[in-house]
Amino acid sequence: MSEVGKPDSGKRQGHTRNARRRSRELAVQGLYQWFLNPSEVGEIDAHIRDAPGFDKADREHYESLLHGSVHHLESLMQQIQPFVDRPWIDLSPVEKAVLVLASHEMNTHPEIPYRVVINEAVELTKTFGGTDAFKFVNGVLDKVAAQARDTEIKAQSNVQPD
């Protein structure tokens, strides 16, 4: 309810969703740049903040995703690698960026359902990745979610339909 007695129009929730989506897009672009040319993440961050549309992003979520993904890269790669069917070096920069970002988001943002994280990652891969890369990303993230969000997954599987 937005005002007393009036139903909420949903604009606020939609705005939050769109702002988070934009923050993910920008963070993936930053990670992509970082994987191509590892440099100070602050330089990449400054460049991304100057990009058109940054004002529409959820800044806090963007910072968490970009900086957190780079900061925790080693542990994220260790989490992802067992579910990847080829050496890390053979993944495209887009696949790396999306997998790292989504894994970080699953680990650090429990308020966002794992299915949302995976769906957003698939959409990012469809936008920025190769033709069938989204299938690969979806498969890997399903396995990462089973490990990172096992309690959430078990709780959902125990819910019986009415």
| Nearest residue to 121 via CA among 133, 138, 109 | 138
pLDDT above 70: residue 6: no
Q: Over 90: is that where the pLDDT of 128 sits?
A: yes
pLDDT (0 to 100) of residue 156: 81
For the stretch 85-126, pLDDT in tens is 999 999 999 999 999 999 999 999 999 999 999 999 999 999
**How far, in whole angstroms, is CA 113 from its chain's centroid?**
12
Per-residue model confidence as pLDDT tens digits over 129-154: 999 999 999 999 999 999 999 888 88
Amino acid occupying residue 111: E
Question: In this structure, which long-range contacts are made by residues 127-133, counting pairs with CB atoms below 8 Å and at least 24 apart in sequence?
Answer: 127/25, 128/28, 128/29, 128/32, 128/94, 128/97, 128/98, 129/92, 129/94, 129/95, 129/98, 130/92, 130/94, 133/92, 133/94, 133/95
Smallest CA-to-CA distance from 51 within 67, 65, 35, 33 is with 33
Reported confidence tier of residue 1, pLDDT bands at 50, 70, 90: very low
pLDDT of residue 153: 83
CA 101 to the chain's CA centroid: 4
Q: Contact 48/30 with Cβ under 8 angstroms?
A: yes
Q: How far apart are CA 43 and CA 136, in angstroms?
A: 30
Residue 8 reports pLDDT greater than 90: no
Give whichever of 13-27, 41-55, 68-82 has the largest mean pLDDT: 68-82
Which residue type is seen at 69? Answer: S
What residue ranges do the domains of the chain occupy?
Answer: 11-150
Homologous superfamily (CATH) of 11-150 is NusB-like (1.10.940.10)
Instruction: Quote the distance between the C-alpha of residue 18 and its chain's center.
Output: 13
Model confidence at 25: pLDDT above 70: yes
